Amino acid sequence: MNDFNFKCYDIDEKELIIPPGLPQSVIARLIEICNVKFDVRDDELYNVKYPVLIGKENELEKAKKYLQLITEAKLALRDIARLARKYNIKAKVYAEDEDLRYILNELKNDIANRNFIEIVEEKPEDSEVVNVADKKIYVGV
């Protein structure tokens, strides 16, 4: 029996190498939002494995843009939730950008202490600004 590792993809699909150590939750959100596939490639010459996203060129460009946004937004939400828990308050998080608001709603499910964060539809009064990938998130109480 032959031991081939054969995978079938479209001819117009490309690969985007992503940084190793990226959390699985970030990769899962990229797959969900950008309609790409994930795989781990083997480089036999250097004897290493590396993660890649596979998809059409426009999907990979979208994934590149969202990779930074999702990673930074997740780190910001994690820190906001940690501070809200420390002071035993519920932080209200708002973003003017609808894409970012959708991402924040999805990422809220991936972090600990999510019950201390509420994604709101209106900008809270007396809020602080947190910059995430050149976009603004407003955090209030």
Phi, psi torsion values for 122, nearest 5 degrees: -125, 145
User: pTM of the prediction?
Assistant: 0.80
The residue among 6, 40, 64 that closes a domain is 64
Beta-strand ranges (E) seen in 28-127 are 37-43, 48-55, 91-95, 117-119
**Separation of alpha carbons 129 and 139, rounded Å:** 6
Render the burial of 59-72: b for 16+ CB within 10 Å, e for the rest: bbebbeebbebbbb
85/135 same-domain check = yes
In a domain, 7, yes or no: no
pLDDT at 6: 55
Number of domains in the chain: 2
Range of the domain at 121: 71-140
75/52 same-domain check = no
pLDDT at 4: 54
Model confidence over 92-128: pLDDT tens digits? Answer: 999 998 889 989 998 998 888 889 999 999 999 899 9
Task: Categorize the per-residue pLDDT at 59 as very low, low, confident or very high, splitting at 50, 70 and 90.
Answer: very high
Residue 41 token pair: 């490639």
Mean pLDDT, all residues of the chain: 88
How far out from the chain centre does Cα 34 lie? 11
> Among residues of the chain, what percentage have pLDDT more than 70?
93
C-alpha to C-alpha distances, 57 to 11, 32, 42, 61, 130, nearest whole angstrom: 11, 16, 22, 6, 31
**Separation of alpha carbons 141 and 90, rounded Å:** 6
In a domain, 5, yes or no: no
Residue 9 has pLDDT above 50, yes or no: yes
**Separation of alpha carbons 107 and 91, rounded Å:** 15
57/94 same-domain check = no
Model confidence over 73-82: pLDDT tens digits? Answer: 999 999 999 9
